[in-house]
A and B are shown apart, each in its own frame.
Chain A
Amino acid sequence: MSEHLRYGTTSLGAGVLVLPFDPRACVLAWHALGREMLRHPLPAFTRDEWAYLVSFLDERHLGEIYVANFGEPSAQPPERCAWLARPRGRIALWLPNNVSLLGPLLVVLVSLAGCPVRIKGGTRGADLMSAFLDYAREHVPDGPLKRYLHQQVELDFFDHSDPRHARMAAEAAVRIVFGSVVAATAIEALPHPPDSTGVAFIDRQSEAWIEPKALTIQLLDTLVKVFSIYGQAGCTSPRRVVLLDASTTELSAFRERLALRWGETSPGEPEAYVASNNVMARQLAAALGWDAMCTPANRSVLAVGDTSLPLLDEPMTLHLVSATLEEAVAALPQNVQTLGYAFAGRVRQDFVGAIARSRIKRAVPLAEMHHFGPIWDGQEFWRQLFEIVEFRSQAEEGPR
């Protein structure tokens, strides 16, 4: 088996990443697939999902992942080596039932690490993982990536009582679970090698903080788009928008403008069950003390209130509140994940401290809330797909 050595310098010093393929070729193969995807979209994916997948496969984006973790590539071996990185081994990946793009995105990232992967897909809901895998296996250019996708990526569907869960856990060097706390706990309890690693991405909630002065039409449209893709079903979707230091009048005006943009940017009618559920959610929100309204065609619900009111678990309900930065931090849910923000100018001085004092796992501009990457839920999970071997070159050694 041929090995490819990629030299680079990190905070540990100069070192070498050893992969079973040329990482540059792998990146270019994914990039080529992205170009093909532009020409031949799959109907199983929404337009937004497909567009994001294509942008994710861009060679600059994927190349940056190697650079961020293993430094800029160097053609020459370093004079003094400090580390060697190699793929940790087989990966077991559990995906949730209503999985969106997580499966395809994870497979792309895992492929960059060259690890064989066994995936357990959700047994209910649309199967985007199979659709993408089949598409990629067919359309990716001939070469190592194509062989990898055919030979090293396995996808199965089975229920929670199936013995294959135990087999996956027992043979994996890295277990990655997307799901509920219960599911992640159950998988972690399965017998697994003591030197293996578990990465759990559990149920989380996200929100957005916006300064009133940042509320341009473009930002309103971005908010509509970011929320509409998955509603509350997405762990990176905002369930609540905090309009920082806003007056009651500003909050009401914000809701009116947002509702207007919803009608403009989302023409047509939603599915009947979505519209019907929103009619119910509007009433539920009102009953619980929110000032709630449906957006045009009952596409979503905008509920205005304050941070003391209970949030509704309704797929297309977006809560709008006003709060100071400190109040916003105090009102964050325990399982907060992404904070999408929008400031009129530069990031506020007190914002960094507020994030540090919170449990927020990601703080990104509003438009990037759904962007997936090698750091997730506060963990450098992609880096954990590698073992870092202390590997000092001889010149470093000598009598002390």
Chain B
Amino acid sequence: MSRLLDRPPYDTRDDPTFLAELEALVRHHRAGCAELARIWPQIGACRTAQDVPFVHVGLFKKLRLMTQAPGIRHERLLLSSATTGAGSSMIQLDEQSTQLQSRSAQAILADFVGPTPRPLLVLDGLASLRRQREVSARIAAAMSLRQLATDLHFVLADPDNPASVKWDMLGDILSSSDDFLMYGLTWMLYFAFGAAEPPRVVRERLAEKRFHFVHSGGWKKLETRRIDRAAFDAALLRHVHPDSRVTDYYGLVEQVGIVYPLCEHGYRHAPVWAEVLVRHPSTLVTLTDRVGQLQLLNVLSLGAPSISVLTEDLGRVVPGDCACGRRGRRFELVGRIPRADMRGCANV
């Protein structure tokens, strides 16, 4: 159980504790995950975060990696949406880590949306929550706000159709509070809510309600429509009370509970129980103030070896303090590594 979780997320960093916990977790995962022991046959002391070995994010699409150890009870399998055609990531969830990850998400998101619980509206269908043994990345993302919610409402009739908002139901829910959280995937939130024209009765009620929209996921579907962040935020906020806000967060499905919301000054911050590095794709040396592959580390995962993941997202670690006041490493998310099909004759 990480001691770091007892501290505010953006407190002064305690790197000795962080590294000691990470090193213990490296040993734990090597002992309990045979594949990992073969991937990391020799490891030295973790004197800095750079010394901590990583698992490439793509490996979770190829193998169902799990760490066996006394006290670890694996529960459901978290599946990402297979957006790149390379299959879904398979993340084995366990009871103990889920508790830690839930505390993490609550602490981080409370710092951005405020600690007061309020009704949470989720742009998904209730059926998505009822799947046995498996949980989608979208539901997992929504559930990261669960601890900040008084109650939960799924507002789509069809989880895959943003045009299926149950406006009548939403209209009724709006009378229950003055403040709401609404979570959706970025593109889903835009098409379901930002670009939609709610019925007049709902529109009138919305105008009086303070919303905090929280969204995550890629912008690809919006880029094709030339919707940038400013247009996105404006589209969401036009229906609701002027004090409403929008928070965009980044996170890996492989590292549930560790989310990186965008601060008021355009940066993302690592909480004290996490760390961010940037590596050059060809040399793997760590970079500062230059764009490279993001490596995300944390001390919250016990049942799957996702404590240190080399992503295929591009980012830049920015030196110095952020004007928002949050301490800890800050970074910019630049995008994904551009891909191209290899020439050959083996595929059609």
Task: Give chain A's interface residues, CB within 8 Å of chain B.
Answer: 96-100, 102, 122, 124-126, 128, 178-180, 183, 201, 203-205, 230-237, 269-273, 275-277, 279-280, 283-284, 286-287, 289, 297-299, 315
User: What's the least CB distance linking A305 to chain B, in Å?
Assistant: 12
User: With A283-B39, A287-B39 given, is the CB distance from A125 to B341 under 8 Å?
Assistant: yes
Given A272-B338, A283-B56, also A98-B293 (CB < 8 A): no
Task: Name the prevailing secondary structure of the B interface residues.
Answer: loop
Decide yes or no whether B340 CB sits under 8 A from chain A.
yes
Instruction: Tell me the complex Cα distance, A233–B347, Å.
Output: 7
Chain B residues near A287: list those with CB within 8 A: 35-36, 38-39, 59, 63
Q: Which of B313-348 contact A (CB under 8 A)?
A: 314, 337-348
Q: Point out residues on B near A: beta carbons under 8 Å.
A: 35-36, 38-39, 41, 55-59, 62-63, 281-284, 293, 310, 312, 314, 337-348
Is B282 a contact partner of A233 (Cβ separation < 8 A)? no
With A284-B63, A287-B35, A287-B39 already in contact, the answer to whether A276 and B344 are too (CB < 8 A) is no
In the bound complex, CA of A234 to CA of B342 (Å): 9
Q: State the 10 A-B residue pairs at the shortest beta-carbon distance, nearest first.
A: A233-B344, A287-B35, A280-B56, A280-B58, A179-B348, A233-B342, A275-B281, A272-B281, A234-B344, A230-B344
Complex alpha-carbon distance, A230 and B310, angstroms:
26
8 more contacts with CB within 8 A, not counting A98-B347, A233-B341, A284-B63, are: A233-B344, A271-B338, A272-B314, A276-B337, A283-B59, A284-B58, A286-B39, A287-B59
Most buried by B among A124, A272, A298: A272
Q: With A234-B344, A279-B56, A279-B310 in contact, do A273 and B63 touch (Cβ < 8 Å)?
A: no
How far apart sit A102 and B347, CA to CA, in the bound complex (Å)?
A: 13
**Chain B residues whose CB sits within 8 angstroms of the CB of A201 once the complex forms:** 345
Q: List, in ascending order, chain A residues with CB within 8 A of B312's CB.
A: 273, 276
> How distant is A211 from chain B, measured CB to nearest CB, in Å?
27
Contact indicator A279/B284 (Cβ below 8 Å): yes
- Interchain residue pairs with CB less than 8 A apart (7): A96-B346, A98-B343, A98-B347, A231-B344, A275-B281, A276-B281, A276-B312
A125 to B346, CA, bound (A): 13
Alpha-carbon gap, A150 to B311, bound state (A): 49
A97 in contact with B348 given A276-B337, A280-B58, A298-B281 (CB within 8 Å): yes
**Cα distance, A370 to B41, chains bound together (Å):** 37
Alpha-carbon separation in the docked complex, A97 to B340 (Å): 12
Q: Is the CB of A286 within 8 A of B38?
A: yes
Known contacts being A233-B345, A287-B63, A297-B282, is A273 close to B38, with CB within 8 Å? Answer: no
Are A298 and B282 neighbours in the complex by a CB distance under 8 Å? yes
A96 touches B281 (CB 8 A): no
Is B343 a contact partner of A99 (Cβ separation < 8 A)? yes
Whether B337 pairs with A122 at a CB distance below 8 angstroms is no
Q: Which of A98, A102, A125, A297 contacts B283 (CB 8 A)?
A: A297
Q: How far is the CB of A270 from chain B (nearest CB, A)?
A: 7
Complex contacts, B340 vs chain A, CB 8 Å: 271, 273
CB pair B345 A100 closer than 8 Å: yes
Q: Closest A-chain residue to B36, C-beta based?
A: A287
Residues of B within 8 A of A297 (CB): 282-283
CB contact between B38 and one of A124, A179, A289, A298 (< 8 Å): that residue: A289
By the criterion CB–CB under 8 Å, are B39 and A98 in contact?
no
Residue among B36, B310, B312, B344 with max Cβ neighbours from chain A (10 Å): B344
Q: How far is the CA of A178 from the CA of B343 in the complex (A)?
A: 14
Contact at B338–A183, with CB atoms within 8 Å? no
Measured between alpha carbons, how far is A213 from B185 in the docked complex, in Å? 59
Q: How far is A226 from B327 in the complex, measured between Cα atoms in Å?
A: 51
A237 to B346, CA, bound (A): 10
Distance in angstroms between the alpha carbons of A203 and B281 in the assembled complex: 31
Contacts of A270 in B (CB 8 A): 282
- Which residue of the partner chain, among B55, B310, B338, B345, contacts A235 with CB atoms under 8 Å? B345
User: Measured between alpha carbons, how far is A203 from B340 in the docked complex, in Å?
Assistant: 20
CB-nearest residue of chain A relative to B314?
A272
Chain B residues with CB below 8 A from A96, complex form: 345-348
Are B348 and A269 within 8 A (Cβ)?
A: no
Instruction: Contact check, A233 vs B281: say whether CB atoms are below 8 A apart.
Output: no
Rounded to whole angstroms, the CA-CA distance of A272 and B347 in the bound complex is 22
Contact of A178 among B58, B342, B345 (CB under 8 A): B345
Q: Which residue of A lies closest to B283 (CB)?
A: A297
